[in-house]
Structure 1
């Protein structure tokens, strides 16, 4: 039986009363033992792969329960059984777990061929867009951000939940935002495209630390820097450091008499980082005060919200014809799109 992905299982069984015998390669992202009120033991297993994270309740009368008692978080395994979707989401009956071979483990960590291709296209978009910026200062600092942190870009998540909360999710989110920015920038003469594009790149760069993933896995552990400082402040720190490195690399481009001056351009870039949440109550220390600031905020919000809708369409059951339950932070019922997604 060829393994499937968690995401494929959710799509296959969501909205169906049927069950299916399947196997899936997973990382054991979370293992928590507990007991019911009646004293029956169980383990809450959080399983992860490149497409999704799913929580399963593994009961003590299964082979998988015994296997998990001898396992550690971060281990990889093949989970097989009869999968179904009920009121609690994706579940598995008669679950069994078996250790992966090295080859199987490598296949799990690489992700599906489709996902590998998508991330490669996103990275190519980064390289082509930022390598062709007209402003030499913004071009140099952007390319440094790619060269210095390539591995982090390809594994960090955009969030811990809500949207793009998966390995490589930050790259996906940022690349899609960049496509939106490229489409919108020419429509407004007040907008400096190079600045907007760099704002997209740098707005969440602090999440390379706040939401970084292990080099070999699908789990993101909180780190001191992310918890104590937060991604906006980290982003300002990183942007300032890279700006200094870029000025040392190409002093002529950063000459003080440049038009506009390097300090002015840097201040505008930093403003995009600190204002991109759009509201003080949402964590931005200042509101957007430039055309690029407002565009960036709304582009960010659009892509995040569409991803939240996409997640609900995939994972929530239909509660009435054409209506599904929204997933947090959205509330209530949402309608399926005319496209049939």
Structure 2
């Protein structure tokens, strides 16, 4: 295959373009993990997970394929250039006539720099987060968000919003939180009884435990697993983190001026913790308590709305058409999607 005539795609572009007809393309990606499986006939195979700045995909390496033997000498974290005829169906991405090579030198550095479009979007989203936090008027919440951004901003910018389904990429948490802040700001305009400072702060911190549950290294796009993330989960971790940061800012010199501020600081802290604890909305979905305040209900629905619309966007890009304008159901969405109605243009 002539390398000069083959397109280099990101993983997100591959998922958007691959379908039933073979697509010849290169993909640069990091081998994130491998899992040993067996077919119904008892034959072994590997499920390999590859990732880049835009997302991830699984690829089956069957026991009679050259990749199955080769991957034994390719450690996790290795960056590969995959050259194949790609197809995609309801079960995922497939590769025929697959060839691969390890990236090195300038190609490797370009890969770790990430997709330029994704990087620029995440930079703008981070600016959105910082600007909204700078506008918080409550001095306790302003100090808390400033302290968090200063101490953990870099770690925040590397985290994903999830391991799969939505914003499951390095920097995805910044994208998710920025969009939620934009929505929260608009909703507070429509419902002025909402405490805007509290809601914006709750948006910032609702998934802050994912700095440990869905974290990425400083160099690379493989999402790590941690004992804290596995044994506690992001909601308890978020509550613990906010309590720690609150104790920090309580020691600042300006904190003495907060003693007479209403509502009382302890009440503000409790309401913020409630937003983190209840944001999944239901006990069955992992929240240790149910929403009990207007801001808690608003945060839950804002979070769910952004996650669902991200899933819908990805589903339109990746799902096969069952008929004109009707697309295959994509987990975890509840049904087949239908083309949206275009806006009236007059």
Equivalent pair of 2:32/2:223 in contact (CA under 8 Å): no
The aligned counterpart of 1:4 is 9
Aligned pair partner of 2:322 in 296, 319, 322? 319
Q: Does 1:194 align with 2:194?
A: no
Relative distance call for 1:33 and 1:216 in structure 2 (3 A) is same
The aligned counterpart of 2:240 is 237
- For residues 5-48 of structure 1, give each alpha carbon's deviation from its aligned partner in whole angstroms, at most 9, with x where no partner exists: 1111121123xx32222111100112345565667664432211
SS at match of 1:28: strand
The aligned counterpart of 2:269 is 266
Q: Does 1:154 align with 2:157?
A: yes
Q: Report which stretch shifted further, 242-251 or 262-271.
A: 242-251
Relative distance call for 1:9 and 1:190 in structure 2 (3 A) is same
Q: Report which stretch shifted further, 255-264 or 298-307.
A: 255-264
Equivalent pair of 2:140/2:258 in contact (CA under 8 Å): no
Q: How does 1:247-258 map to 2 (within 5 A)?
A: 247-252=250-255, 255-258=258-261
Alpha-carbon RMSD across the aligned residues, in angstroms, is 2.1
Equivalent pair of 1:28/1:47 in contact (CA under 8 Å): yes
Question: How many residues are aligned here?
Answer: 338
The aligned counterpart of 1:185 is 188
SS at match of 2:281: coil
Relative distance call for 1:166 and 1:260 in structure 2 (3 A) is same
Aligned pair partner of 1:127 in 118, 127, 130? 130
Aligned partners of 1:91 and 1:133: how far apart in 2?
48
Q: Does 1:77 align with 2:74?
A: no
Q: Does 1:309 align with 2:323?
A: no
Relative distance call for 1:254 and 1:169 in structure 2 (3 A) is farther
Q: Report which stretch shifted further, 220-229 or 251-260.
A: 251-260
Q: Report which stretch shifted further, 79-88 or 247-256.
A: 247-256
Q: CA deviation at 1:276?
A: 0.9
SS at match of 2:240: helix
Equivalent pair of 2:133/2:146 in contact (CA under 8 Å): yes
Equivalent pair of 1:137/1:253 in contact (CA under 8 Å): no
Q: CA deviation at 1:280?
A: 2.1
Aligned partners of 2:338 and 2:79: how far apart in 1?
37
Q: How does 1:1-341 map to 2 (within 5 A)?
A: 1=4, 3-14=8-19, 17-32=20-35, 36=39, 42-59=45-62, 63-252=66-255, 255-339=258-342
Aligned partners of 1:30 and 1:226: how far apart in 2?
18
Equivalent pair of 2:45/2:63 in contact (CA under 8 Å): yes
Aligned partners of 1:159 and 1:126: how far apart in 2?
19
- For residues 135-192 of structure 1, give each alpha carbon's deviation from its aligned partner in whole angstroms, at most 9, with x where no partner exists: 1211110011111112221111111122111111111111110110111112212111
SS at match of 2:26: strand
Aligned partners of 2:283 and 2:64: how far apart in 1?
51
Query: Which structure 1 segments of 5+ residues have no match?
Result: none
Aligned partners of 2:230 and 2:36: how far apart in 1?
27
Relative distance call for 1:197 and 1:98 in structure 2 (3 A) is same
Relative distance call for 1:119 and 1:250 in structure 2 (3 A) is farther
Q: CA deviation at 1:307?
A: 1.2
Relative distance call for 1:253 and 1:58 in structure 2 (3 A) is same
Q: Report which stretch shifted further, 30-39 or 255-264.
A: 30-39
Aligned partners of 1:331 and 1:99: how far apart in 2?
40
